[in-house]
Amino acid sequence: MGQVTRRDFQKTALGLGLSTGLTTALGSGRLSGANSGVAERASPAESFRGPYCFFSKHLPDLAWGELGRTVKEAGFDGVDLTVRPEGHVLPERVATDLPRAIEAIAASGVPVPMVTTSLLSAEDPAAVPTFEAASKGGVRLLKPGYYKYSLKDVPRELADAGRQLASLADLGRRYDMVVGYHTHAGYVGGPTLDFLPEIEKLDAQVVGVYFDIRHAVIEGGRIGWQLAAALAMPRLRMIAVKDCVWRKDEKGRWRDGHCPLGEGMVDWPAFCRMLAQADYQGPVSMHIEYDIDGATPASRRDGMIEAARRDLAFVKGQMEEAYRG
C-alpha cells in the first residue's frame, strides 16, 4: 500500500464532508486539547514520546507489584490495568483496591496511565467509585465497556449508546478524566465511522477514541481502516496494537484471527505514518491475543512475556521509523 500523502489525506477528508480548516489541521498535525494525546505543532513529529503500556489482561495471575516489575523488565513504560470482572481490580472492590494496585505498580517503577473497565453508563454502581479512585491515583484515561448491536433499529441503537456514553462523559468532566471508546470489531464503534458522530457530539476534553488498528482492518480491510483512522484522528486518545489474519475454521468458514505483530494484515508503516503526521503522543497499549504455547501456567507466562518483548520491539521500530521520516 502506498504512502498516504497530505494532499491525498485532505482530498479524502474533504470528500467525506470535512471542513477545509479541519483537513488542514489534520494534514499539518495542528491538533490540540487538554489530555488529548495529540500535541499542537506545525510540522510532523520527530519522535514518539508516549508510553508503551502492557495490557494486564494477559498476565492475570500476577499480583500488582509483580505485574509492575514484570512489565518494567520487559521494557514497557506503564500498565493498562484491568478494572472489571475477572480483572486485576474487581469492580465491587474498586474503592479500596484500585488505589492499592496503582501504588504497588508505581512502587515497582512503572505508572498506570490508563484503566480498562466494563462500564457502560454512570448508572453502574461501580462507575463513580472507579472514576474517583482512578482520578485520585493520577490515572487520566479510562476505557469503558462495549455497546452491542441488535441490528433491529441501528440509528436508535447508536443514539442509545451515545446517551450512555454521555453519562460517562459527565463523570469524566467531574473527575478530570478522558473516556476513550475502544473501536472493537463486532460491537458499536467497531467500524469507527458508525459511532464517531455520537462521540463528536460530546466534549472533546472528556471523550475520545481508543483506536484499535487490528479491529479497524478487520472491519475495513482496504481503504476502510484508513478512513476510520483519518476521521478519528482529532479525537484520538489511546491506541491498541495487535495484528490479524483471516483463516478457515474446522468447518471451512472464514474467521478473523490473531497473530504476532508484522505477520498479519495490518499495514504498520502506513498506520504509523498517520500517527506521526498527527503527532500522536498518547499511550500505546500492547495486546497479545494470539495463542501462546506452554505445558504449564509458568511456561505460558514466560512465553507471553517473550511475545510481548518481541511485539514491543516491532512496534517501537515501526514508530521510530515513521516519526523520523
Indicate whether 142 belongs to any domain.
yes
- Other CB atoms within 10 Å distance of the CB of residue 291: 12
| C-alpha dist (Å) from residue 239 to 40, 183, 209, 212, 235 | 19, 9, 8, 6, 11
pLDDT band (50, 70, 90) for residue 325: confident
| C-alpha dist (Å) from residue 64 to 52, 78, 101, 279, 288 | 18, 12, 6, 32, 19
Query: Per residue in 22-39, pLDDT tens?
Result: 333 333 333 333 333 343
pLDDT band (50, 70, 90) for residue 44: low
Indicate whether 1 belongs to any domain.
no
User: What count of Cα atoms within 13 Å lies in the side-chain half-sphere of residue 324?
Assistant: 6
Cα(243)–Cα(265) distance, rounded to whole angstroms? 7
Indicate whether 256 belongs to any domain.
yes
Indicate whether 171 belongs to any domain.
yes
9 touches 23 (CB < 8 A): yes
Cα(137)–Cα(126) distance, rounded to whole angstroms? 16
pLDDT band (50, 70, 90) for residue 45: low
Indicate whether 31 belongs to any domain.
yes
pLDDT computed for residue 35 by the predictor? 35
Indicate whether 102 belongs to any domain.
yes
Question: Letter for the amino acid at 249?
Answer: D
* Adjacent-strand bridge partners of 314: none
pLDDT band (50, 70, 90) for residue 295: confident
- Other CB atoms within 10 Å distance of the CB of residue 19: 10
Indicate whether 138 belongs to any domain.
yes
What is the pTM assigned to this prediction?
0.85
Query: Per residue in 59-90, pLDDT tens?
Result: 999 999 999 999 999 999 999 999 999 999 99
Residue span of the structural domain in which 161 resides: 6-324
Element (H, E) at 155: helix 154-175
Residue 67 C-alpha from the chain's centroid:
20
Indicate whether 222 belongs to any domain.
yes
Q: Which three cell numbers stand for residue 316?
A: 517501537
* Adjacent-strand bridge partners of 182: 210
pLDDT at 14 over 90: no
Cα(68)–Cα(60) distance, rounded to whole angstroms? 12
Count of domains observed in the chain = 1
Of 22 and 170, which is predicted with more confidence? 170
Question: Letter for the amino acid at 213?
Answer: I
pLDDT computed for residue 221 by the predictor? 84
Domain CATH for 109:
3.20.20.150
Query: Per residue in 192-231, pLDDT tens?
Result: 999 999 999 999 999 999 999 999 999 998 899 999 999 9
